[in-house]
Amino acid sequence: MPIYLIENRFSARHLLEKEGIPADAVQTIEIQLGLNKQKRDEPINFVGLIETSGKQFFALPKFCSKADAEKGASRLVVELMRKVAANRQATKRIPDAHLFDEKQLDASLSKVGIADFLLEDYCAHGLISIRRSIYKASNFRSPDWAKTIHSIDPIWGDDGPVYDRWLSRHSERAAHRQITEIHKAAISACISRYGELLGYPASLLPSGPSQSQSSEHSTAILRAALRRTYSMREINVLNALIAWLEQRREGGPAFFGTRYFEQVWETICANLLNDIKGYSPWADVMPFPQWTLWATNEKFKPKGQFELDALTELPDSKGLLLSDAKYYVPRFEKGAVEGMPGMEPLSKQLHYEELLFTSQAFMDQYGKNRDKLINSFIFPGPSSMDRDISPFGDVTIPRITQNPIICTNLNGLRAFQRYLRNEPFSHAELTALWDSINSKASV
């Protein structure tokens, strides 16, 4: 049974003293996650699975509650990170080797990822049952005359050809029954190890005992079958079973997750908000810095440039929504605010607004009407939100902001679900958001 944690609400000392993880395992976690072992009380920013000998810990995103684990949040997070890890464009931006490793050819190479695939396939299709037919010479089974005439020379008599033997179809059963047993054993192990974490009940366990075989023998059987199949489902399941059996069994902690979930949040927000920053005419509105060497008057451009998180064009020429995805959990208490963007991200977002407002692309479409541009921070909201996306406030800086930066909540778990279904916000939903912002701003 996994122990659920919340990102940024546990520390290395908590794992050591409260959860009973051995000191050497905690040291390995500190090394693998790049933590400072001199500061064991510092909160750990990590979302995902940490497995140690005999224990599983799953850290949910910081905006979640432990009650969200009962709603299948952990499975959503696993599916989400598998999808993001398969997105090479997103992966390149995330400096994390525990999940987002560009050297991996498939995001499902981790044990929990393989288990998720195998269990999902099993629920949809059941145990794999590969049956192959071969043709053998026979004199008692029903003949396949087309194969016989093509392959066997007859005895010719006065009345025509006579066959003293013929070809008949035989099913290969023994090896393929073994494949079903291997699949059954793997499914049982997946449910035992990850079933609760991924939201699969123990009742899904295949009935009847499975025959145990060595990993090497099982792998050889699976590889032999893989060489003779052309069914896509069989290929995928056989490869997953081989990967499951060949996973190295290391004694130290294993990980499936990331310390940089804010990058995942940015990817989700850009997708759901129908981001157009990479398309004409908006692709060139952010200028490159230019460096000049005085001695030769040579001009140089760095590889990087200003990069927006998301730019959304509203239907019917209503305007543009400039969004900065912020993986923060705002807290407002006794007139003070915590967990909100500081001066640096505020200044950056205001700078982006000015660059966009003064761009030729904006002038051509909207003139000098600043009301056609809404600047917004997008925060992850709780699963209890009534709407998927909703503005809740704004931020202004005297003598600097001309229009406020709108603060918007995006229901975190619903955002995961929509991203996994590839369901960005519709024109109607975006229009409702725009109108809601403007109705509050005009009060």
**Residue 9 in contact with residue 233, Cβ under 8 Å?**
no
DSSP per residue over 38-51, as a string?
Answer: T-TTSBP--EEEEE
Question: What pLDDT does residue 366 have?
Answer: 94
Tell me the pLDDT tens digit for each residue of 76-117: 998 888 788 777 565 566 656 555 444 443 433 578 878 888
SS3 assignment for 245-295 = HHCCCCCCCEEEEECCHHHHHHHHHHHHCCCCCCCCCHHHCCCCCCEEECC
Looking at residue 107, its pLDDT comes to: 39
Q: What is the DSSP secondary structure assignment for residue 153, as one 8-state letter?
A: P
What residues pair up with 272 in beta bridges, in sequence order?
none
Q: Which residues contact 153 (CB under 8 A, 6 or more apart)?
A: none
What is the reported pLDDT for 104? Answer: 43
pLDDT digits (tens), the chain, 443 positions: 789 999 999 999 999 999 989 899 899 888 888 888 899 999 999 999 888 877 889 999 999 988 888 788 988 998 888 788 777 565 566 656 555 444 443 433 578 878 888 999 999 999 988 766 666 777 777 777 777 777 787 888 777 787 777 777 666 555 678 888 999 999 999 998 888 888 888 888 887 666 666 788 888 889 988 888 888 998 999 999 998 888 755 556 778 888 889 989 999 999 999 999 989 899 888 888 889 999 999 998 877 667 889 999 998 889 999 999 999 998 888 778 888 888 999 999 999 999 999 999 999 999 999 999 999 999 999 877 888 999 999 999 998 889 999 999 999 999 999 999 999 999 999 999 999 998 875 54
* pLDDT, position 103: 44
Residue type, 320: L
Q: How many other CB atoms are there within 10 angstroms of residue 349's CB atom?
A: 22
pLDDT at position 171: 61
* Predicted TM-score (pTM) of this structure: 0.78
Give the tens place of pLDDT for each residue, 382-405.
877 888 999 999 999 998 889 999
Give the per-residue pLDDT at 174: 52
pLDDT (tens digit per residue) in 24-43 = 989 988 888 888 889 999 99
In this predicted structure, what is the pLDDT of residue 443?
A: 45
Q: Find tokens 């288990």 and name the residue.
A: 115
Long-range contacts of 120-128 (CB under 8 A, 24+ apart): 121/233, 121/236, 121/237, 121/240, 122/183, 122/187, 122/204, 123/200, 123/204, 125/233, 127/180, 127/183, 127/184, 127/187, 127/206, 128/179, 128/180, 128/183, 128/233, 128/234, 128/237, 128/238
> What pLDDT does residue 390 have?
93
